[in-house]
Amino acid sequence: MTAPIETTGAAAEAQPEAVLEGVESKKIEGRSLGQIAWLRFRRDKVAVAGAIVVILLIVIAALSRPIQSWLGLDPNSPNQDLIDPNTTLPKGDFGGMSLDHPLGVDPKFGRDLLARVLEGSWVSLIVAFGATLLSVAIGTVLGVVAGFYRGRVDALISRLMDVFLAFPLLLFAIAISASLQGGAFGLEGLPLHISVLIFVIGFFNWPYMGRIVRAQTLSLREREFVDAARGMGARGPFILFRELLPNLVGPIIVYSTLLIPSNILFEAALSFLGVGIQPPQASWGGMLNQAVKFYEVDPQYMLVPGLAIFVTVLAFNLLGDGLRDALDPRSSR
Q: What is the tens place of the pLDDT at every residue in 126-146?
A: 999 999 999 999 999 999 999
Q: Within a domain: residue 22?
A: no
Identify the bridge partners of residue 187 per DSSP, sorted by sequence position.
184
* Phi, psi at 184, each rounded to 5°: -165, 150
Q: What pLDDT does residue 182 have? A: 67
Question: How does pLDDT run across 267-318, given as a tens digit for each residue?
Answer: 999 889 888 888 888 999 999 999 988 888 888 889 999 999 999 999 999 9
Q: Within a domain: residue 147?
A: yes
Is residue 14 over pLDDT 90?
A: no
Q: In whole angstroms, what is the distance from residue 303 CA to residue 312 CA? A: 14
Q: Within a domain: residue 191?
A: yes
Q: What pLDDT does residue 16 have? A: 54
Q: How far is CA 115 from CA 88, 108, 203, in A?
A: 20, 16, 31
Q: What pLDDT does residue 63 have? A: 93
Q: Which of 5-19, 91-105, 127-141, 193-207 has the highest mean pLDDT?
A: 127-141
Q: How far is CA 139 from CA 52, 157, 182, 266, in A?
A: 28, 10, 30, 19
Tell me which of 248 and 185 has the higher pLDDT.
Answer: 248
Q: Is residue 308 classed as helix, strand or coil in its secondary structure?
A: helix
Percent of the chain clearing pLDDT 90 (strictly above): 32
Lowest mean pLDDT across 44-58, 93-107, 166-180: 166-180
Q: Within a domain: residue 269?
A: yes
Percent of the chain clearing pLDDT 70 (strictly above): 86
Q: Within a domain: residue 333?
A: no
| Mean predicted confidence (pLDDT) in 79-108 | 86
244-266 b/e with 16+ CB inside 10 Å = b? bbeebebbbebbbbbbbbbbbbb
CATH of the domain at 95: 1.10.3720.10
CB atoms inside a 10 Å sphere around CB 125: 22
Q: Within a domain: residue 97?
A: yes
- What single-letter DSSP state applies at residue 89? S
Is residue 323 over pLDDT 80?
A: yes
What domain count does the chain have? 1
Q: What pLDDT does residue 12 have? A: 47
Is residue 200 over pLDDT 90?
A: no
Domain that holds residue 298: 34-327
**Contacts with 201 (C-beta within 8 Å, 6 or more apart), sequence order:** 127, 131, 135, 173, 263, 266, 267
Average pLDDT, rounded, for the chain:
83
With residue 10 as reference, give the H or E element that holds it: helix 9-25
Question: How does pLDDT run across 227-276, given as a tens digit for each residue?
Answer: 787 778 777 778 887 888 888 888 898 899 989 999 999 999 988 988 88
Is residue 30 over pLDDT 70?
A: no
Output the CA torsion 51→52→54→60 (10° steps): 160
| Mean predicted confidence (pLDDT) in 48-63 | 94
Q: What pLDDT does residue 39 have? A: 84
**Contacts with 317 (C-beta within 8 Å, 6 or more apart), sequence order:** 50, 258, 261
Tell me which of 131 and 328 has the higher pLDDT.
Answer: 131
Q: Within a domain: residue 16?
A: no
